[in-house]
């Protein structure tokens, strides 16, 4: 039964036509309370349905979604949340599949979500490809969800954060949030997970030059993937370089010393060691209270971010303000007004 439900949950989102017919069929019959009960009873199809409501822009759906989240909240927050990032080609899918299967063998339930900044442009999705994580996707203890779409990264983040809550209420112990190393998406993911893993390749030429230190700084562990065959020597060199890079960073508030490890997800080598490092991180940060502190800080961050973004959007959406902004920018470029005088002028229009 669980297996059938799971298959339904997966296939539904890989086929747009079936999503639509599914949504239409259920639209009038979904009851928020029943859905919450089913989610808490670990029904994968109920979980999928609830997430679809979260992702809907229909106000009636949103109202229902808010009720569901509110009732799932007391049952959430019990998982560990792991962010995984890396450039395309680093082997994220294979890594998550290998790690996910390892965790399931240990009795865990694993949900994989994605934050995909490119999906708003290309309408594609880093998890939309059916052939990815095929093994893991078939497992009833796994739940794989394509990335939420939205017009803004903030909107995608909101949906992802609420999806985490539902997955936790449905009994998933490990939530993996995947993102590609593009733009601000890593920062967004880092601000919603407990542990952040950066996947790298050896010999990609970016160990020294062009390292995006912002990302290195966020990483709780760096895993150099594809450390197999002829790559092993290069992977070891890269490990030295990244360890050196880490020394340039200040000590983390978590008191955790970030690790550099090598692995081959394809050959299932080094994955156990990475998982042990992750467990070690949680042991340390739960003992020193950093774990709960970080979650509270993340909540505050998202609260303030949401308010600030909405205040800005409300202000700058006005055509009058937009026109004035353009005018003032021109005057500034002509050295006829200062930034502060221009700001005052614009603010007084509101």
d(C-alpha 161, C-alpha 190), whole Å: 12
Q: Does 317 bind a second copy (CB under 8 A)?
A: no
What is the spatial order of strands in the sheet that 174-180 belongs to?
142-144, 110-115, 174-180, 80-86, 195-201, 221-225, 259-262
CA atoms 34, 35, 40, 41: torsion sign: positive
Residue by residue, DSSP assigns 255-294 as ----EEEE-BTTTTBSHHHHHHHHHHHHHHHHHTSHHHHH
Supply the minimum distance, in Å, between the C-beta of residue 87 and a second copy: 15
> Which DSSP symbol is given to 148?
P
Q: Does 153 bind a second copy (CB under 8 A)?
A: no
Q: What residues between 34 and 53 interact with a second copy by CB under 8 A?
A: none
Which of these ranges, 62-70, 99-107, 130-138, 193-201, lies near a second copy under the rule CB under 8 A? Answer: 62-70
Q: Does 63 bind a second copy (CB under 8 A)?
A: no
> Which DSSP symbol is given to 170?
T
Query: Residue 20 or residue 248: which is nearer to a second copy going by CB?
Result: 248
Q: Does 276 bind a second copy (CB under 8 A)?
A: no
Burial class from Cβ neighbours inside 10 Å (0-12, 13-18, 19+) for residue 124 reads middle
Supply the minimum distance, in Å, between the C-beta of residue 281 and a second copy: 21
Which of these ranges, 96-104, 109-117, 169-177, 342-350, lies near a second copy under the rule CB under 8 A? Answer: 342-350
3-state secondary structure of 118: coil
d(C-alpha 66, C-alpha 81), whole Å: 22
Query: Residue 279 or residue 347: which is nearer to a second copy going by CB?
Result: 347
Residue from 30, 73, 104, 232 in contact with a second copy (CB under 8 A)? 73
Which strand (E) or helix (H) includes residue 76?
none
Strand 174-180 with 259-262, pairing: unpaired
Residue from 212, 233, 286, 293 in contact with a second copy (CB under 8 A)? 212
Token pair belonging to 304: 């303030």
Q: Does 204 bind a second copy (CB under 8 A)?
A: no
Whose tokens are 């989102």? That residue is 13
Which of these ranges, 30-38, 176-184, 207-215, 228-236, lies near a second copy under the rule CB under 8 A? Answer: 207-215
Count of alpha carbons within 13 angstroms of residue 92, beta-carbon side: 21
Residue from 307, 318, 320, 326 in contact with a second copy (CB under 8 A)? 307
d(C-alpha 317, C-alpha 310), whole Å: 10
Q: What residues between 76 and 135 interact with a second copy by CB under 8 A?
A: 76-77
Residue from 312, 322, 323, 326 in contact with a second copy (CB under 8 A)? 312
Q: Does 28 bind a second copy (CB under 8 A)?
A: no
**Contact map string, positions 223 to 262, toward a second copy, x by CB under 8 A:** ----------------------x-xxxxx-----------
Which of these ranges, 97-105, 140-148, 196-204, 206-214, lies near a second copy under the rule CB under 8 A? Answer: 206-214
* Beta-carbon contacts of residue 267 (< 8 Å; ≥ 6 apart): 228
Residue from 38, 179, 221, 337 in contact with a second copy (CB under 8 A)? 337
Q: Which residues bind a second copy (CB under 8 A)?
A: 66, 69-70, 73-74, 76-77, 158, 161-162, 165, 208-213, 217, 245, 247-251, 296, 299-303, 306-308, 310-312, 315, 328-329, 332-333, 335-344, 346-347
């Amino acid at each position: 039964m669980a297996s059938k439900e799971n298959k339904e949950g997966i296939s539904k989102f890989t086929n747009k036509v079936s999503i639509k017919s599914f949504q239409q069929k259920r639209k009038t019959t979904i009851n928020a309370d029943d859905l919450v009960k089913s989610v808490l009873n670990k029904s994968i199809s109920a979980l999928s349905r609830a997430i679809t409501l979260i992702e809907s822009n229909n106000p009636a759906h949103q109202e229902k979604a808010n009720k569901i989240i509110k009732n799932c909240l007391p049952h959430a927050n019990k998982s560990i949340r792991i962010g995984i990032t890396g450039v395309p080609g680093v082997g994220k899918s294979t890594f998550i599949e290998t790690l996910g299967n390892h965790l399931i063998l240990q009795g865990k339930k694993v949900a994989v979500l994605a934050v995909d900044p490119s999906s708003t442009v290309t309408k594609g999705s880093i998890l939309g490809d059916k052939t990815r994580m095929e093994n893991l996707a078939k497992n009833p203890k796994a739940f794989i969800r394509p990335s939420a779409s939205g017009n803004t990264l903030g909107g995608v983040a909101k949906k992802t954060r609420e999806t985490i809550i539902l997955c936790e209420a449905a009994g998933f112990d490990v939530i993996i949030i995947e993102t590609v190393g593009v733009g601000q998406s890593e920062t967004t993911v880092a601000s919603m997970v407990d542990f952040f893993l950066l996947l790298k390749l050896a010999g990609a030429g970016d160990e020294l030059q062009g390292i995006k230190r912002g990302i290195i700084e966020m990483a709780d562990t760096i895993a150099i993937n594809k450390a197999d065959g002829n790559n092993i020597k290069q992977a070891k060199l890269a490990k030295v370089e990244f360890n050196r890079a880490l020394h340039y960073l200040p000590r983390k508030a978590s008191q955790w010393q970030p690790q550099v490890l090598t692995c081959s997800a394809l050959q299932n080598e080094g994955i156990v060691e990475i998982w042990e490092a992750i467990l070690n991180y949680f042991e340390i940060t739960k003992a020193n209270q950093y774990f709960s502190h970080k979650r509270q800080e993340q909540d505050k961050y998202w609260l303030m971010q949401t308010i600030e973004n909405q205040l800005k959007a409300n202000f700058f959406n006005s055509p009058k303000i937009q026109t004035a902004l353009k005018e003032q920018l021109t005057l500034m470029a002509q050295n006829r007004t200062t930034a502060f005088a221009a700001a005052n002028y614009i603010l007084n229009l509101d």
